[in-house]
Amino acid sequence: MKITVTGSLGNISKPLAKQLIRAGHQLTIISSNAEKAAAIEAIGATAAIGVVTDVEFLTRAFTGADVVYTMVPPYFGANNFREYVRSIGKNYAEAIEKASVPRVVNLSSIGAHLDAGTGPIAGMHDVELELNKLSNVAIKHLRAPFFYVNFEGNIDMIRNMGILGSNYPATARLVMVHPEDIAAVAAEEIQQEFTGKSIRYLVSDDRTMGPIATVLGTAIGKPELPWVEFTDEQALNGMLQNGLPPEMARNFVEMGTAIRSGLLWGDYDQNKPKVPGIIKLEAFAQEFADRFKLV
Ligand SMILES: NC(=O)c1ccc[n+]([C@@H]2O[C@H](COP(=O)([O-])OP(=O)(O)OC[C@H]3O[C@@H](n4cnc5c(N)ncnc54)[C@H](OP(=O)(O)O)[C@@H]3O)[C@@H](O)[C@H]2O)c1
């Protein structure tokens, strides 16, 4: 099959592309950076260099594809993050229609069933709606939970403060996934026929924050690493001090409130995947420890 993959050689797109190329498919990978073309070609794909804000470019990159994998690249400089995410979903929808793409596998998020109260995830709700407007296009939304790799953003906090923390307590639950487990499910969906519009939830592990801190801490030789609950205000100020733009900091604080209340997991709990991903937190913790040594 001819497949166009967005997301360059990112967390999910790289293992996804490698798997699809191994299976004999013809891949085009979208990157915004011309310097990535050589690395994309080195894994056996064609590079399409351009940006997801350019519908004409997307249309060209999607033309002739049997399946497109869509994801919205993170852009923390957006003045209105939700509007940014929605606008990329709208661009994808327009390009998919113009290029007559029959099937789409879209990376969405746990919590995307909710219209508000979820911070950065609300835009994913909008993307699903934009794509679902397309008639005669089969669409599978993969609702992924919290990526393990997000914890790599906490390495400075561990080093400088000796803690892990956010605006939810040690007893708060976190549903998590490894990018390789997402890539495996995306590859499966891309390679099998499906019709209509549907949702598939993903998971690798489902734990609470205190034990998560212990597992990550143990892997880096700090088994006593505590999980510390911040107030919303402390979390906001901490993110601002670390240079996160206010719009994003506010979004992440709101997402934290949805983790604290459990709001985020509601629809997932009603529709849990029958087969979970294989990479559990302890396995990721070894990757985390390798990363910790480098940063
Ligand atoms: N983090 C989570 O917990 C979580 C949970 C659920 C869903 N998600 C979704 O997952 C997404 C991230 O997926 P990921 O981790 O696989 O992505 P990623 O590793 O962040 O990779 C995205 C790649 O997209 C490319 N890119 C950036 N801006 C672009 C632009 N304007 N036009 C074209 N390409 C551009 C970049 O590569 P180049 O430099 O080569 O262009 C970048 O490396 C999030 O944005 C969110 O929608 C995340």
Q: Ligand 1 pocket: which of 14, 40, 69, 71 to mutate (most atoms <8 Å of CB)?
A: 71
What pLDDT shows up at residue 88? 98
Atom of ligand 1 nearest to the CA of 36: 40
Q: Is 201 helix (H, G, I), strand (E, B) or coil?
A: strand
98 Cβ neighbours under 8 A, 6+ residues apart? 55, 59, 62
From first to last of its 295 residues, what are the pLDDT tens digits of the chain? Answer: 999 999 999 999 999 999 999 999 999 999 999 999 999 999 999 999 999 999 999 999 999 999 999 999 999 999 999 999 999 999 999 999 999 999 999 999 999 999 999 999 999 999 999 999 999 999 999 999 999 999 999 999 999 999 999 999 999 999 999 999 999 999 999 999 999 999 999 999 999 999 999 999 999 999 999 999 999 999 999 999 999 999 999 999 999 999 999 999 999 999 999 999 999 999 999 999 999 998 8
Q: How far apart are CA 27 and CA 5, in angstroms?
A: 7
Going by alpha carbons, the residue nearest to atom 15 of ligand 1 is 11
Nearest to 29, CA basis, from 51, 66, 50, 4? 4
For the chain, domain boundaries: 2-145+178-201
179 Cβ neighbours under 8 A, 6+ residues apart? 11, 12, 15, 147, 148, 149
Q: Ligand 1 pocket: which of 4, 6, 32, 200 to mutate (most atoms <8 Å of CB)?
A: 32
Q: How far is the CA of 72 from the centre of ligand 1 (A)?
A: 6
What pLDDT shows up at residue 93? 98
For residues 203 and 276, is the Cβ–Cβ distance under 8 A?
yes
What pLDDT shows up at residue 295? 83
Nearest to 93, CA basis, from 81, 104, 108, 82? 104
What pLDDT shows up at residue 250? 98
Domain over 2-145+178-201 is classified CATH 3.40.50.720: yes
Residue type at position 289: A
What pLDDT shows up at residue 267? 98
What pLDDT shows up at residue 40? 98
Atom of ligand 1 nearest to the CA of 108: 7
What pLDDT shows up at residue 164? 98
Q: How far is the CA of 261 from the centre of ligand 1 (A)?
A: 27
